[in-house]
Chains A and B, each alone.
Chain A
Amino acid sequence: MNNNKQICIEEGTQTAHRISLHEQKVGFQARPDVSVLVSMERAGQHLIAVGCRGGGCGQCRIRILQGDYFSKRMSRAWISSEQESEGTVLACRVFARSDLLIEPDPPEVGSRCQAAAQHDQ
């Protein structure tokens, strides 16, 4: 029981940061201990594509134009070290340390199965 109370106190004391999309009037709040991507999902928004949520698939690639953040390891298949140093990151591995201004940068992938599926729908 104590444990649960502890979690509540921690959640209450953490400052949420505002994540805004470049040249759009949309955004969401993100706590520093929840990734930018999952914060967006919890806010019920669909501004960044959601993939694996683990830094492996590249779907949630964004560019961070302004603000401070902490990032965990991201697959080099999608983010080179140059890109990482210039602020191109995977939203599922990034935690806001201030308000952020971001821009989605999804990679392009496609298959014949996907074409068939789109035809199906």
Chain B
Amino acid sequence: MKKGVMRPGHVQIRVLDMDEALKHYVDLLGLIEMDRDDEGRVYLKAWTEVDKFSVVLREADQAGMDFMGFKCLDEGTLDRLHEDLVAFGCAVDVIAAGELKDCGRRLRFRAPSGHDFELFATKQQTGKWGVDNRNPEAWPRGLQGIKATRFDHCLLYGTDLDRTLELFRDVLGFDLAEQVVTPDGTRVAQFLTASMKAHDVAFIDHPEPGKFHHASFFLETWEDVLRAADLISMTDTSIDIGPTRHGLTHGKTIYFFDPSGNRTEVFCGGDYHYPDHEPVTWDADKLGKAIFYHDRQLNERFLTVLT
């Protein structure tokens, strides 16, 4: 049942070198620099997003994800969800408006998977980049590189998938859209959605909590994914795998790494989910096909390379 959580709003990613990172996220991926703050963080967005920013980069001595934030309907929804999170057993930190520039108060909590998440309802809306909201043209000129259209989801590796599902389903109103299950019934992967998308956030079972697998950005067409692959080769960017298709969600995809080792995905297509849909299930003994539909075999790197 929906609880007023709308969509992925932002992700804060730690990078080892900001200048190198901006070459990746701006020049190659095609995000747009929107702002910087006193801490040296850089705020980016993809061109179709209406809010001011969706990706925040922070220079640090470890790569990985600081937190992922979801945007909620309104401030009243935040108040209700605050109570529900506490009742579930989460410790909730209220982060004051303005700590992230032009973003309202945020509720920060740690999921049983070991990842920090945030809920917020207010962020400055600068509108889609380069197109008007009235009689809009199809796309703006002046985009760079891969021309990512939106921040779509994160895949996270961590502990206690069952309790994490309870938190996201029962408290935050996400649906389980797809899953991977072992013969003894243990769920080892879960793809969760607060919308019609196949995933807004996904988790894979891992002995170490709080690990980051990738942040994903949406493209319109398979041709766009192939063009991304060309740009990744032209720039000698570290590649993981692709272009290929996933069995899970059926998205068409390519994975590559930022200069600090954080994985980036760009993808197109994929399944949709309505609240009356039963979860799609893949058996763990078909995991190769579930993850890489064409090779039908996992590369070790996809499961073990995390930040």
**Which A residues lie within 8 Å of B306 (CB)?**
57, 109
Contact string, B181-201, partner A, CB cutoff 8 A, digits 1/0?
Answer: 010001011000000000000
B-side interface size class: 35 or more
Say if the beta carbon of A113 comes within 8 Å of chain B: yes
Say if the beta carbon of B279 comes within 8 Å of chain A: no
Chain A binder among B41-49, B91-99, B296-304 = B296-304
- Give B180's nearest chain A residue, CB to CB: A113
**Which A residues lie within 8 Å of B303 (CB)?**
111, 113-114, 117
- Give B61's nearest chain A residue, CB to CB: A76
| Interface residues in B196-235 (C-beta closer than 8 Å to A) | 204-208
Tell me if A56 and B261 are in contact (CB < 8 A). Answer: yes
Tell me if A53 and B257 are in contact (CB < 8 A). Answer: yes
Tell me if A56 and B207 are in contact (CB < 8 A). Answer: no
Tell me if A55 and B16 are in contact (CB < 8 A). Answer: yes
A-side interface size class: 20 to 34
| Interface residues in A46-76 (C-beta closer than 8 Å to B) | 50-57, 59, 72-76
| Supplied contacts A54-B261, A56-B62, 15 more A-B pairs, CB within 8 Å | A51-B261, A55-B16, A55-B260, A56-B307, A76-B61, A77-B64, A92-B261, A111-B204, A111-B207, A113-B287, A116-B285, A117-B287, A120-B285, A120-B287, A120-B297
* Complex CA–CA separation, A55 to B61 (angstroms): 10
* Complex CA–CA separation, A73 to B61 (angstroms): 8
Q: A73-B17, A113-B180, A121-B288 are in contact. Are A51 and B259 (CB under 8 A)?
A: no
Contact string, B268-304, partner A, CB cutoff 8 A, digits 1/0?
Answer: 0000000000000000111110000000011011011
**Could you name 11 residue pairs across A and B whose Cβ atoms are closer than 8 Å?**
A52-B261, A55-B260, A56-B262, A73-B17, A75-B63, A75-B307, A77-B64, A77-B307, A109-B304, A110-B207, A121-B288
Tell me if B64 and A51 are in contact (CB < 8 A). Answer: no
- Report how many A-B pairs have Cβ atoms within 8 Å: 119
Residues on A facing B (Cβ under 8 Å):
50-57, 59, 72-77, 92, 109-114, 116-117, 119-121
Tell me if B182 and A114 are in contact (CB < 8 A). Answer: no
Tell me if A116 and B16 are in contact (CB < 8 A). Answer: no
Contact of A51 among B17, B188, B301 (CB under 8 A): B301
Q: Which 9 A-B pairs have CB atoms at the shortest separation, nearest pair first?
A: A56-B261, A52-B261, A56-B63, A54-B261, A53-B238, A116-B284, A51-B305, A56-B307, A73-B16
Most buried by B among A53, A55, A109, A117: A117
Tell me if B238 and A117 are in contact (CB < 8 A). Answer: no
Tell me if B257 and A120 are in contact (CB < 8 A). Answer: no
Tell me if A111 and B157 are in contact (CB < 8 A). Answer: yes
Q: How far is the CB of A35 from chain B (nearest CB, A)?
A: 10
Q: How far is the CB of B22 from chain A (nearest CB, A)?
A: 14
Tell me if B186 and A112 are in contact (CB < 8 A). Answer: yes
Q: How far is the CB of A11 from chain B (nearest CB, A)?
A: 14
* Complex CA–CA separation, A87 to B240 (angstroms): 27
Q: How far is the CB of B246 from chain A (nearest CB, A)?
A: 14
Tell me if B263 and A52 are in contact (CB < 8 A). Answer: yes
